[in-house]
Structure 1
Amino acid sequence: MGSFPLLFAGALVFVVGILRPAPIHATPAATSEPTDSLPADSYLTLVIGAPEARRQALAQIDSQWQPYATALLLETMRLARDPRLPGQIVKLLEKHTAQNFGFEVEAWWQWVWTHKTELPPAYAQMKSRLYSVIDHRFRRYFNARWLPSARIRLDEVRWGGVEQDGIPPLRDPSMTTAADANRWLDEEDVVFGLVHNGEARAYPQRILAWHELFTDTIAEEPIAGVYCTLCGTMIVYGTRVDSVGHLLGTSGFLFRSNKLMYDAQTQSLWSTLWGEPVFGPLADSGIRLPRYPVVTTTWSAWRERHPQTQVLSLQTGHSRDYGEGVAYREYFDTEDLMFQIPQHDKRLRNKDEILGLLSADGQPLAIADRYLRKNPVLHEHLGQMPIVIVTDASGAHRVYAAGATTFDRLDEDRLLDTDGRAWRLEEDALYLKGEEPLPRLPAHRAFWFGWYSAFAHTRLVH
């Protein structure tokens, strides 16, 4: 991925091989937003215009150069159909920035983010028009009227290579029994386990890697499970807040290599890691989706604890190779990122796994997976709350409020405290006769770079 041609070719392989490709349409969606006297149509012409029109558009951008043009030209380069256009854009970038990154697109983006150029309302309009040639629904994402309430920078929102829901979410997916799943799930296959009000579900990673999002109902509660393959997170959210349901989908865009969702009603963009709307009509709503505890474990370990579990069925309505580790194998095997991020923290490697937690008031805590495996019963604090993190033989992590109790070792499904008392370890709480249950707390795994990009102020235990 050392040059633009290689990166662009890689993106095409990724799109064709895994996702439903997004066509480029000749006619963009119309817009009535103001242009602020800036050459908005010039960038669009670079994508869909005839050769002479493209030459004139480049000349117009050159003569009316604005600092934010660097970001817009990088976005335009991603959509180029004429193989000559990337080279022409690079020459223009080098002329006006005095930088010499050539076709190193990610280096250009790093330069853009370092300079944090002020983005005028016209930037949103231009982005809207550019991406409407891919999917007319994208036009609603970037309405300039939502800029005052935006919680993220639009030059950090990058297209992932697909249309809206081009990575098809699973809606109310079919479930099957553990006995049936035994026929096609191997003992060490990774599953994401969830129990709510006594109802157990297992969602195999090998299926979700192709879909990244499901909406379902468990114990009469609407939920969305979001698996961001790029940042290694699997989070389960309740989607009803203050009696209002939010139907979430895959937006087609990323923020700091983290999947952005959208809601069907308002087309607001939502952060996967925050569980909150970040751009659009709901960005200043204060909505925060409630999180459910989810565990990453093996099929054999989950089945042993929950023999009556329901399992996400292979009958998804889509034709995919659902073999273990098939999707994104090359991505998972390296430390390289598909989409670069503004800042890295080198205390851990990019894709080192951490367990991520948020306190009730939003204080983040990250604990390295390898540290937890060395310390299978670990006491910590989440904000002001004493907690205990329990790691079993499968490597699964579960987090509980600890109260005033100190635990020192795990004995199968019992957690022993320092007084020798054996607490029963369940998915919803730790139980001991005569004592108040110690509730389970939401936590999930993530790649370090993804967690840090969302929570740069996180405390890290490693």
Structure 2
Amino acid sequence: MNVRSVLPRDAIPSIDDPTFGRGYVGEDDDEVIVVDDASPARAYPVRILSYHEIVNDAVGGRPIAVTWCPICWSAAVYDRTVDGRTLTFGTSGKLADDALVMYDRETGTEWQQTTGRAIAGELEGERLRTLAAPITTWERFAAEYPDGVVLQPVRGGEAEPGRSARDAYDIRSYDMGPYERYARSDEFGLYGMRGEGRKRTWDRKDVDAKTVVLGVERDDEAVGYPIDHLEAVGGVVTDSVGGLDVVVFAADGRGGVFEDPGFAFETSPGTVRGDGATWDPTTGRSSDGRWLDRVPARRLFAFAWQDAHGPDSFAGT
């Protein structure tokens, strides 16, 4: 593992006192990380996370960290409780194999965002518990969770009476342009994002470096499912990871991992059909009100998954 310092600690400020509302400053197709075991459900926009990377929050009394690494395109939600101690996370200013390194303010331990593992410090060797948190668009979230709320921005100015959130917070304060250009480019890692450090190479042909992967880790087994591969084989794959039977969905570039309910599925545009109902491929909710049991998974670029788990960790390889 190559760990290097690129910024001062907390140069990218975490959000430690998040506020939520019904209005959103971004676009309908902006991606949001969903935590729906809250009441009401909460959406954390990638647009905002790209500028803060960590949100320390609590849902139903459970402390959580909603995290995002723009270089790895890595979304993960973690339980902030370790051995009965609640941790608060910030950005360390370091990268481990081009992945965000978080630190906890209670012990100073450093944690790799793409794995949830403590890599240096008092808690080295510990691992954060990954929570199931689907990723969808703001438009879909608003439709699926009409009572849901969204993380409010902290950049761009204070709201004044009579001004909307969009007016008060200049959307340019959360410009996704640089991140979207990086996502579309062929280069990856810190060099691809900022033109700094070593230029990385990628020599495999079956998976592109920036293919989006759904990664599942259970016990000592880790399997990454490239979304484009899932779509190429019909959008539904059944598998077993760490002894758990799972079904993995992909439709229109989105996907999710669920416990296999034992009946067959097939995909149709933007959705999945099975057992007489349609199912959302990210949330696992059916048209007749049922829910599939979600399996904790992280979404990230293939190069970051391979950095963490090796070249043989992709499904089918």
TM bucket, shorter chain: 0.7 to 0.9
Partner secondary structure for residue 293 of structure 2 = strand
Shift of 1:213: 1.1
**Residue in 1 that maps onto 2:128:** 289
For 1:215, which of 43, 56, 61 is the aligned residue?
56
Instruction: Give the AA of the match of 1:455.
Output: H
1:249 has 2:90 as partner: yes
Between structure 1 and structure 2, the one with the greater Rg is: 1
Number of residue-to-residue matches in the alignment: 294
**Residue in 2 that maps onto 1:305:** 144
1:159 has 2:18 as partner: no
For 1:365, which of 219, 223, 228 is the aligned residue?
223
2: distance between equivalents of 1:282 and 1:253?
17
1:390-409 alignment runs, 5 A limit: 390-393=249-252, 395-409=253-267
Q: Which has the higher contact order (CA 8 A, sep 6+)?
A: 2
Instruction: Give the AA of the match of 2:265.
Output: F
For 2:18, which of 167, 173, 179 is the aligned residue?
173
Partner secondary structure for residue 170 of structure 1 = coil
> Is the contact made by 1:429 and 1:439 (CA closer than 8 Å) also made in structure 2?
yes
Higher helix share: 1
1:331 has 2:186 as partner: no
Per-residue CA deviations over 1:417-455 (Å, capped at 9, x if unaligned) read 3xxx4376698766799x9x7411112221111110011
Higher strand share: 2
Instruction: Assess, with a 3 A threshold, how the Cα gap between structure 1 residues 429 and 197 changes in structure 2: closer, same or farther.
Output: farther
| Runs of 5+ unmatched residues, structure 2 | 158-168, 192-197
> Is the contact made by 1:213 and 1:250 (CA closer than 8 Å) also made in structure 2?
yes
2: distance between equivalents of 1:392 and 1:269?
36
**Residue in 2 that maps onto 1:453:** 307
1:93-132 alignment runs, 5 A limit: none
**Residue in 1 that maps onto 2:245:** 386
Partner secondary structure for residue 196 of structure 1 = coil
Partner secondary structure for residue 203 of structure 1 = strand
**Residue in 2 that maps onto 1:376:** 235
> Is the contact made by 1:430 and 1:439 (CA closer than 8 Å) also made in structure 2?
no
2: distance between equivalents of 1:159 and 1:227?
18
Partner secondary structure for residue 460 of structure 1 = coil
Instruction: Give the AA of the match of 1:158.
Output: R
**Residue in 1 that maps onto 2:212:** 353
> Is the contact made by 1:174 and 1:313 (CA closer than 8 Å) also made in structure 2?
yes
TM-score if structure 2 supplies the norm length?
0.81
1: distance between equivalents of 2:244 and 2:143?
31
Per-residue CA deviations over 1:156-180 (Å, capped at 9, x if unaligned) read 11112x2111011111212111xx2
| Runs of 5+ unmatched residues, structure 1 | 1-151
2: distance between equivalents of 1:416 and 1:396?
18
TM-score if structure 1 supplies the norm length?
0.57
Instruction: Give the AA of the match of 2:4.
Output: R
The percent of aligned pairs where both chains have the same amino acid is 26
